[in-house]
Amino acid sequence: MNLSLERNGRVLTVQIAGELDLSTSPTFRNRIEAELGQNQEIQHLIFDFKETSFIDSSGLGAILGRYKSIAQRNGKISAVNVPPHLQRLFELSGLLKVMTIHPSLEEAQK
């Protein structure tokens, strides 16, 4: 998995390339938590799944964990470029109760 983090004011966009599972979720957690710790003003996490090839419940748990972090500062999480097989996992897991899917990155950033 390769992560690309880009901060723009209160928004942190995270591009996830590759597989988010048991092996890679600690890196995912640590990179984002470090960024959140260094930038207290971040209140919106946008996950870009364009290059994400696989997610299982370990990965979903890592995403939910980041929601809990950002929710503590009254922030929110969004998702863009969600392929159909990931959308189904998000629906089954209940993650869409806390994560909004937007049609584009530009829409998510509004």
Footprint of another protein (CB under 8 A): 19, 21-23, 29, 54, 56-58, 60-62, 64-65, 85, 89, 92-93
Single-letter amino acid code for the residue at 78 = S
Shorter beta-carbon distance to another protein: residue 53 or 100: 53
* CA-to-CA separations, 6 to 10, 12, 60, 61, in angstroms, rounded: 11, 6, 21, 22
Question: What's the closest the beta carbon of residue 107 comes to another protein, in angstroms?
Answer: 26
Is 43 within 8 Å of 73 (Cβ atoms)? Answer: yes
Question: What's the closest the beta carbon of residue 9 comes to another protein, in angstroms?
Answer: 28
Question: What's the closest the beta carbon of residue 106 comes to another protein, in angstroms?
Answer: 29
| Residue 15 three-state SS | strand
